[in-house]
Amino acid sequence: MLDGGLDAWVKAGHPLSTEVPPDRAGTLAPLTVRPLVVDAEFVKTNLGARGIAIVDGRNSGFYNGTQTGGGPTWPHKAGHIRGAGSVPFGDTVDPANRLKSAAELQKLLANAGVRPGDTVVAYCHIGQQATQVILAARTLGLEVLLYDGSFEEWSRKGYPVENPGGKLAIRTRPLGKMVAGLGLGEPVTCDGLKAEVPLPPALSRQAPLIVATLGSTST
């Protein structure tokens, strides 16, 4: 992998070419593939397990529950996988898109609860951003695994979620519709995109996502 990408190559003064090299015959040796992809059942079984660190690679707003991912037909829950730490994938690189120093990466991972010798199991929305976290952890010599289904699958399965923001993200239709009958206090007027409803303390750690359409709600 070229650290910094093509921009770094050009800034270093290296040449570019428009020529397409001709095809040539080669040989391939058998490839032994290490199993690096895990599923939801593996993650659920290993929540809180010693030596396993679940790491969320999404931006902090999604981790904190102030933003939600997914699409209109199946929005994600608010928050993150229970017990997961947070290493936003963009925080692993500097402004020039180069990997941060080993010391900086170690601090990021340590703040997310990763201890020396842990296996890092990274996830994001659908398993793409998490690969950047995996790369960062691998450069430090840590064992890594990718939860490919990520929060998309986790939300659909209804598995344990923590919502630090203690709020529900509400998606509404049509614009300006009043959402009532949520059982969470006073109704709120939504702006057509998202509104937030404070949760009672007892529910704040496992908040479902409520989708409101034409005045009706479902979880």
Contacts of 159 (CB under 8 A, 6+ apart): 40, 44, 81
**What is the model's pLDDT at position 167?**
53
Say yes or no to pLDDT of 214 above 70: no
- Of residues 33 and 146, the one with the higher pLDDT is 146
**CA nearest neighbour of 154 among 64, 40, 38:** 40
**What is the model's pLDDT at position 107?**
97
The position carrying tokens 């929060």 is: 151
Superfamily the domain 35-164 falls into = Rhodanese-like domain (3.40.250.10)
146: which DSSP letter? Answer: E
- Of residues 9 and 196, the one with the higher pLDDT is 9
Confidence of residue 206 (pLDDT cuts 50, 70, 90): very low
The percentage of the chain sitting over the pLDDT mark of 90, rounded to a whole number, equals 53
The percentage of the chain sitting over the pLDDT mark of 70, rounded to a whole number, equals 76
Task: Enter the pTM of the model.
Answer: 0.70
Say yes or no to pLDDT of 165 above 80: no
| Domain parsing of the chain, residue ranges | 35-164, 166-219
